[in-house]
Amino acid sequence: MKLVLASQSPRRRELLALAGYDFQVASASVEELAPGSLPMPELCMTNALLKAEEVALRFPLACVIGADTLVKGGDKTLGKPRDLDDARDMLHFLSGQVQTVCTGVAVLSGGAETVFHELTRVQFKKLTSEMIESYMRLVNVLDKAGAYAIQEHGEMLVESVEGDRDNVIGLPVKRLAQVLASSMK
């Protein structure tokens, strides 16, 4: 059965390829629900399912994977920043905090649907404005939930990770592999 990733995220493509999967990429053009419209796990799973369903219409015989990642610090749920000022504000907000990264995943295969989410806790260092500016010069922060990428100079920001590091990158590969093993039979 053909495997299709309903995402243009280079990070998700890399994680899936590193796990040894042969797959095709097809971007979903859907209107995602905005952060704060639902509790974070439900929101991530809903957006992942919207993406997977849209792509599954084009690939009805494939196993389709949709995913969505958000970051929650305190009482704020953060998606991708609107611009560099928003990214800077997000990083200042996350400074010194423990945050929760949630990735919702939807797998559609042969009429069956499996939707789940993974949570990972990330402790940020206390960041100065200079540290944030240095990080933003090195990393394109605009296409990343919470305005950071743990795999791209994450050591500048992150003190510790509790849980699946791949989940913070954008795809909980270990859990996904278990779902795919039963979905692609």
* Helix, coil or strand: residue 9: coil
Can 68 be counted among the known catalytic residues?
yes
End-to-end CA distance of the chain: 9
Q: How far apart are CA 76 and CA 90, in angstroms?
A: 10
Q: Which of 22, 68, 75, 164 is catalytic?
A: 68
Q: How far apart are CA 172 and CA 160, in angstroms?
A: 18
> In terms of DSSP bridges, do strands 24-25 and 63-73 run parallel, antiparallel, or are they unpaired?
unpaired
* Helix, coil or strand: residue 12: helix
Let me know: does 119 contact 41? Beta carbons within 8 Å: yes
Catalytic residues: 68
